[in-house]
Amino acid sequence: MMQPSITPTDTVSDRVKLPFNFDVAKMQAEVAAMNLGPFVYYDSLPLRSPAFMVDPSIPVPPPAEDFADGSWTDWLDTKALKSSPYLQEVLQTFRDNCTVNLVRILRLAPGAVVKEHTDPTLGLQIEKSMIRLTIPIQVDESVTFFLNNEPVPMKTGECWYLRLTDPHRVVNDSKDQRINMTIDVVPNEWIKSIILAHDQ
């Protein structure tokens, strides 16, 4: 049976909860074991990065005309990911089925706000792009992710596709940091079919 295809003219919701649920306690324990230091406002820890940033012996690739789909460089796992077996397991769910490029742990400080912005290449409707999958690891009910001015009800351990080409912002009104894992993948028929099947 042929899988459904998504073209730039197809309409897909700006948010889709995917059928994956991950062990929150294990993710939180591995992030805690990273002994991440204090930070102000916002912090990003790469788990998978451009190869030359992970291994200095690898030359920087030449300038590219288009960086949108990540093909301008090779990508490597960082030490932080290699020392986190469960996060590797989470990631393998996607690596077994599609190309995974940038992966990060993102932290947002208590009381911090990410101002409204757009990410022009992070949408399924863009012909050459990556899409970003988001897995909340630590999030209080007072943290709100707004997409097109509507809250996205993401809970820990869930996995969401968000159309980040649209306006979005984050407000952390809690007393704790918000922690997400984000996974940038090249959209292929496997992930497209899952998004279509769970689009409400």
d(CA 30, CA 196): 32
Residue 64 forms part of a structural domain? no
Q: How many domains does the chain have?
A: 1
Residue 75 forms part of a structural domain? yes
Residue 62 forms part of a structural domain? no
Residue 136 forms part of a structural domain? yes
Residue-wise pLDDT tens digits, 158-188: 999 999 999 999 999 999 999 999 999 999 9
Residue 63 forms part of a structural domain? no
Tokens of 68: 């949108």
d(CA 101, CA 26): 23
d(CA 114, CA 105): 16
pLDDT at 10 over 80: no
- pTM recorded for the entire structure: 0.93
State which residues form the domain around 105.
Answer: 15-53+69-197
Q: What CATH code is carried by the domain that includes residue 178? A: 2.60.120.330
Residue-wise pLDDT tens digits, 83-126: 999 999 999 999 999 999 999 999 999 999 999 999 999 999 99
Chain centre to alpha carbon of residue 102: 8
Residue 47 forms part of a structural domain? yes
